[in-house]
Amino acid sequence: MNDKIIDISLWQLLSAYLFIVVLTVIVKWRGIAREKEIIIGTLRMTIQLVLAGYILTYVFKHPHPLLTLFIFALMEIFAIYNVFKRIKYELSSSLKKVIAFSMTVGTVVSLLFFNYVVIRFSPWFEPRYVIPIAGMVIGNAMTGITLGVNHLVEGMEKQKRMVEAALMLGATPKTASKELVDRAFDSAILPTINSMVGMGIVFLPGMMTGQILSGIAPLTAIEYQIAIMLGIAGSVSFSVILFVQYGYRTFFNERSQLK
């Protein structure tokens, strides 16, 4: 058995774009106006990944603490910006601050623990570890927080009457919004829990697939996958609980009135 991965030739890779051609033909035939998005999506995916490939090659060859930190900061900023963009509602500036705060604190604390207590690599800035792990942790926290924000803002809008009714009877803002806050938290962590349930049976996660393809023994790949799943669950719940705990307060003023 040859455990070296097959290098895909340019022609082989190009042939994979046939999938997109088929997809485009289908949407055209059905009259679903999505061609533009499909083409933009495919192009962006290609360009971004090629760039990432070159950048990672450079960074892995020239590891430097500042470079690792810079890339990490860039990922964090991009993720926070992406949360803002994916929310369907107008966000107050104080809620935006809470989002940025909980994303940053939630992911940084989880990563510190994951990298230096669970995996323990050195040097501490080793980009081969820091960057992919940060990508997974930040990406999942981003999805979780997006869901949490959407549910919290929507709940505050739709259930305003309930919150108001509770305030009128002398509830603190915390009690008045407890149910909403709990539901927002629950909906934000549910996808992570569900993906753990299906893992290994319904699908092999991307990281593991990549490692197995590149010749790493499945058992080693699984060790990493288990660790990273736990890390993801931790960082999602930590970021989201920070978000909801501080987020609901932005809907009230200092006189415990709804803004």
Partner 1 sequence: MFELKDIIYKDILKIDHLHIEDNKVSILTGESGSGKTTVLKLLNHLISPDEGTVLYKGKDIAALDPVQHRRNVVMLQQMHAIFPGTVKDNLTAGLRFADQAVPDDQLLEEALQHVHLRKSLDTEADGLSGGEQQRLALARVLLLDAEVFLLDEPSSALDEETADEVIAGFLKKVKQKNRTVVMVTHSKQIAERYADVPVHLEEYNQKSKDAAHER
Residues contributing to the site for partner 1 (CB under 8 A): 161-162, 164-172, 175-176, 179, 255-258
Nearest approach, Cβ of residue 255 and partner 1 (Å): 5
Q: Give the nearest distance from C-beta 29 to partner 1 in angstroms.
A: 47
Nearer to partner 1, 171 or 189 (CB): 171
Minimum distance of partner 1 from residue 200's CB (angstroms): 37
| Alpha-helical regions (H) of the chain | 10-16, 18-30, 35-61, 65-86, 93-113, 127-158, 160-168, 173-176, 178-198, 206-213, 218-247
Which CB atom, from 150 or from 177, has the smaller least distance to partner 1? 177
127 near 63, Cβ under 8 Å? yes
Which among 254, 247, 82 is positioned nearest to 152, based on CA atoms? Answer: 247
Smallest distance from partner 1 to CB 248, Å: 15
When the beta carbons of 164 and 186 are compared against partner 1, the nearer one is: 164
Q: Are the CB atoms for 141 and 103 separated by under 8 Å? A: yes
Nearer to partner 1, 92 or 256 (CB): 256
How would you classify residue 205: left for phi > 0, otherwise alpha for psi between -120 and 50, otherwise beta? beta
Cβ atoms of 130 and 72 within 8 Å: the answer is yes
Distance CA(212)–CA(206), nearest Å, equals: 10
Q: Which is nearer to partner 1, 106 or 173 (CB)?
A: 173
What minimum distance in Å lies between the beta carbon of 187 and partner 1?
Answer: 16
Helix 93-113 / helix 65-86 crossing angle, nearest 10 deg: 140
